[in-house]
Amino acid sequence: MSRRKASKTRRTASKTRRPRRVTTSALRRFVVAESKRLDEQGLSGKLEPTEKVKAEEVEADGYAGTLEKDIDHAKALKIQERRLTKKLKKIREARTKLNKKIVKRLR
């Protein structure tokens, strides 16, 4: 019996558990610790000047192929959607006929 009570209290405790509120001092400690951790990893979080950053330039025709593929895929999906809606329409018609037939036989 004591086992059931313990499990029952555990269940109710998990349902009513609320998130803890973080105090300002705890939040400040967390932020300072994370900034130290980032500094140790060499991630200062400071932005580099855009003049020093070397960006890789890519020709637009490299992306044109993928754009064409995406458009073709969208067209194919549209055609498939039309086929499926026609099939769905036929299925719905058959179902309504069958339902009418069942109701007619029950009378």
pLDDT at 107 over 80: yes
Is 0.85 surpassed by the pTM of this model?
Answer: no
Q: What is the pLDDT of residues 49-82, one digit of tens each?
A: 777 777 777 777 767 778 889 999 999 999 999 9
What is the model's pLDDT at position 56? 79
Q: Indicate left, alpha or beta for 42 from its phi (over 0: left) and psi (-120 to 50: alpha).
A: left
Other beta carbons less than 10 A from residue 74's beta carbon: 9
Instruction: Round to whole Å and give the CA distance between 47 and 12.
Output: 48
Q: Where are the domains of the chain?
A: 74-107
Give the least confident one: 16-20, 78-82, 88-92: 16-20
